Each structure stands twice: as structure tokens, then as C-alpha cells.
């Protein structure tokens, strides 16, 4: 009997011990760190071939990384900030011109935040970029010129500008429009606002101006005695300092009564037209109205150089540079117009209409 009671006691003790062993005091396993391994970094330079072992000059490189147990990657070029992604692919454009070495560092991250890294050195060639396009109008729309780029002078020289011209400038589509990729400024013989001729004077004043650079204008000029087309610039400070203190740059001027002559000129306080000691760039072009030509200006701190179809024609570089001879240190805006008549020439009485066509305008710095 005593043995039986002792046997039951042992069984009860065993049951109690087993039931209490599943309580809150049991140990909890900590998650194990996951460490990425086998990190591989591959760098590819765009345009590499036997003649260009350091790339095609674009400076474009592609970085590809792989690693076991990695869920994301980080890429760092030189001292630039790290860029993270989950793809393991990273594109980068090297900016320093010439041949330069770059250190590319890659980081592989696991789901537990552990990381490994590696780096490689790469030598990349970046070509000189030269002047960059900062503003242009390709006239690709249809209808009126882009109002974000162009405004208008409305009226006649009686408003305070002009040279005895006979036209009234409007913003009507009868006088200016864009079609088939071409800007057309149309001078017409018609009675309007008390004048016998109409035309348009477009300008970028208050919308775009620049200091130093190159401008290219591809244009076809109007014909007819009395026409006076111009592609030119004025200082953006004209409203405060007046003309000619603001400086004027005539990239292209043409007079219908002297049809084969194309002129370039400057106007400054020291010489604002008709100065005996100042030359004017003048060249002969016979197909000015039937073929497009590119009229260009290169403007630096010390010189204005004029080109037609990229052929040098004329430059202005004063011997003594001061505010009177060189007002070209401040921004200038662009002007396109076709005037009719002037204080020193007349208009053909049989004139009816003529058009200046502009294919594009591009400004570089």
C-alpha cells in the first residue's frame, strides 16, 4: 500500500513538472544576423572601343552590383552622396572634362541591416562641351508666335522710336504668323491707323535677354525697294539709360534699294551711325531672298564678331574701351522687324507685300 501511494506521488510530481515547464520563463531565440556575401561590382563606360578605351566622351557609366543575401544596394561616386536602390543598377554621368579617375564604391545591404562594401577605380574621358544652347525658337507651332518668348512694339516711330519709317507695326496674323516651321513677318501696303503700310516688330524684351554668347538666326529676307528688314539687339537697360547708351547691335540689316548688300553694325555713345572713322560690316549676297542664310553674332567681353553662314565678315573691338565706346557689358534682348521706308530713302509705289522668313533662332553660351 505504501508503495502504491509513493508511485502516485511520483506520477503527480512528474505531471506538475511537465505542465509548468511551458510557462513564460522559457528562453527566446534572438534572430540571427544575415550577412551579404560574394559582392561583385561591374563598371561599364559608354562608347568604349579599340579607339576610345575610356569612352566616347559622354562621360556616361553604368554600375551593376550583385551579392548573395542582399536586398538593396548603395552606390557612391567620389565624394558624391550615396544613392540607394533595390535593382543593383546605377547610371552616372561624369562631369569633369578631360581624362579623370573616379572611385566607385558599392554597398550591399541585407534584410537585417548588415552590409558589406567594395570599390573600383575607373578612368573616364569627358569631351569638352563647348557652348551650350540657352534659348531658342524653332517655330514648330502654328499661328501666333510663342507669347512666352515674344512681345510686340505696336505703332509707328511717332511713339519715340524709328527713323522716319512709314509702316504701322501690329500684332495681327496679317503681319506675323508661324506656319510650317517658319516665322513670317509680312510687310504690306494697306491703309491702317492712318498709315499706308503695316508690318510687325517682335522683341524678347522682358522675356529673355543675355550677356555674352553666340546667336544664330537662319533667315530669308524680303525684297522690294523701301523694305528694311533687321535682326538686331538693344540693351535691356534702355528704359533707364536711353539710346545709344544702352548699346545697339545690328546682326543683320538690309535695304531693298541696295538689294545685294547685307550689313552688320554697332551703335554706341561714341558712334551712333554715320561716323566717318567707323567701318560697317558689309558683304554681297545675291540670293538673300531665295535662299536661307545663317546670320550670327559672337559676343565676348571685348569684341563683337559677325558671321554669315559661319564665315567671318566683320568685328567691332574699340581701341579704347570705356562706357562710351563699349556699352556691351550688360544684357541685351532680341528684335526682329521689317520696316518700310526711312528718312533717307523712298518706297517703290508698286510695292504690295514682302515677307521675311525665320527658320530658327538659337542662343548659346
As annotated, the residues of the chain forming the CATH 2.60.40.10 domain(s) are 37-126
The three grid cell numbers given for residue 216, joined into one nine-digit string:
544664330
- Distance CA(76)–CA(340), nearest Å, equals 63
- Distance CA(233)–CA(229), nearest Å, equals 13
Q: How far is CA 231 from CA 74, 108, 337, 357, in A?
A: 53, 59, 7, 11
Residues 6+ apart with CB under 8 A from 131: 213, 214, 364, 365
Q: Which residue carries 544576423 as its cell? A: 33
- Distance CA(323)–CA(243), nearest Å, equals 13
Q: Closest by alpha carbon to 351, among 189, 194, 198?
A: 189
Q: Which residues pair with 289 in a beta bridge?
A: none
The CATH code of the domain at 37-126 is 2.60.40.10
64 pLDDT higher than 80: yes
The two beta strands, 195-199 and 167-169, are parallel
133-364, what's its fold?
A: Jelly Rolls (2.60.120)
- Distance CA(44)–CA(55), nearest Å, equals 9
- Distance CA(306)–CA(294), nearest Å, equals 11
pLDDT of res. 160:
58
- The pTM score is 0.72
As annotated, the residues of the chain forming the CATH 2.60.120.200 domain(s) are 133-364
pLDDT of res. 14:
47
- Distance CA(233)–CA(249), nearest Å, equals 5
| From 16-25, 241-250, 289-298, the region with the lowest mean pLDDT | 16-25
278 pLDDT higher than 70: no
Q: Which residue carries 534572438 as its cell? A: 30
Band of pLDDT at residue 272, cut at 50, 70 and 90: confident
Mean per-residue pLDDT, 203-225: 98
| From 48-52, 125-129, 171-175, 274-278, the region with the lowest mean pLDDT | 274-278
Report the catalytic residues: 248, 253
The three grid cell numbers given for residue 351, joined into one nine-digit string:
510695292
25 pLDDT higher than 80: no
Residues 6+ apart with CB under 8 A from 345: 225, 226, 255, 257
pLDDT of res. 253:
96
Across the chain, what does the average pLDDT equal? 91
124-164 pLDDT, tens digit per residue, is 999 988 899 999 999 999 999 999 999 999 999 766 567 88
360 pLDDT higher than 70: yes
Backbone torsion region of residue 69, taken as left when φ is above 0, otherwise alpha when ψ lies between -120 and 50, otherwise beta:
left
Amino acid at each position: 500500500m505504501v508503495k502504491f501511494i509513493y508511485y502516485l506521488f511520483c506520477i503527480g510530481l512528474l505531471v506538475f513538472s511537465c505542465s509548468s515547464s511551458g510557462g513564460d520563463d522559457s528562453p527566446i531565440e534572438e534572430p540571427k544576423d544575415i550577412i551579404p556575401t560574394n559582392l561583385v561590382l561591374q563598371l561599364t563606360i559608354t562608347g568604349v572601343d579599340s579607339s576610345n578605351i575610356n569612352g566616347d566622351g559622354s562621360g556616361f557609366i553604368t554600375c551593376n552590383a550583385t551579392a548573395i543575401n542582399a536586398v538593396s544596394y548603395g552606390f557612391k561616386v567620389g565624394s558624391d552622396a550615396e544613392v540607394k536602390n533595390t535593382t543593383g543598377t546605377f547610371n552616372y554621368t561624369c562631369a569633369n572634362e578631360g581624362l579623370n579617375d573616379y572611385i566607385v564604391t558599392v554597398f550591399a545591404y541585407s534584410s537585417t541591416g548588415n552590409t558589406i562594401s567594395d570599390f573600383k577605380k575607373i578612368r573616364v574621358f569627358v569631351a569638352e562641351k563647348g557652348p551650350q544652347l540657352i534659348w531658342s525658337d524653332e517655330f514648330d507651332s502654328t499661328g501666333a508666335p510663342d507669347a512666352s518668348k515674344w512681345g510686340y512694339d505696336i505703332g509707328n516711330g511717332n511713339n519715340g522710336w524709328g527713323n522716319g519709317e512709314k509702316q504701322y507695326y501690329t500684332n495681327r496674323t496679317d503681319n506675323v504668323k508661324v506656319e510650317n516651321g517658319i516665322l513670317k513677318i509680312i510687310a504690306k501696303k494697306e491703309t491702317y491707323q492712318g498709315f499706308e503700310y503695316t508690318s510687325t516688330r517682335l522683341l524678347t524684351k522682358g522675356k529673355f535677354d543675355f550677356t555674352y554668347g553666340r546667336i544664330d538666326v537662319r533667315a530669308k529676307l524680303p525684297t522690294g525697294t523701301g523694305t528694311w528688314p533687321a535682326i538686331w539687339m538693344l540693351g535691356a537697360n534702355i528704359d533707364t539709360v536711353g539710346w545709344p547708351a544702352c548699346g545697339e547691335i545690328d546682326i543683320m540689316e538690309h535695304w531693298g534699294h541696295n538689294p545685294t548688300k547685307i550689313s552688320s553694325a554697332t551703335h554706341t555713345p561714341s558712334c551712333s551711325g554715320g561716323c566717318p572713322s567707323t567701318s560697317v560690316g558689309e558683304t554681297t549676297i545675291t540670293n538673300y531672298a531665295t535662299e536661307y542664310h545663317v546670320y550670327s553674332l559672337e559676343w565676348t567681353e571685348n569684341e563683337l564678331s559677325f558671321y554669315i553662314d559661319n564665315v567671318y565678315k566683320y568685328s567691332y573691338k574699340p581701341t579704347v574701351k570705356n562706357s562710351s565706346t563699349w556699352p556691351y557689358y550688360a544684357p541685351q534682348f532680341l528684335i526682329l522687324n521689317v520696316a518700310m521706308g526711312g528718312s533717307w530713302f523712298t518706297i517703290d509705289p508698286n510695292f504690295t507685300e514682302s515677307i521675311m522668313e525665320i527658320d530658327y533662332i538659337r542662343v548659346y553660351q
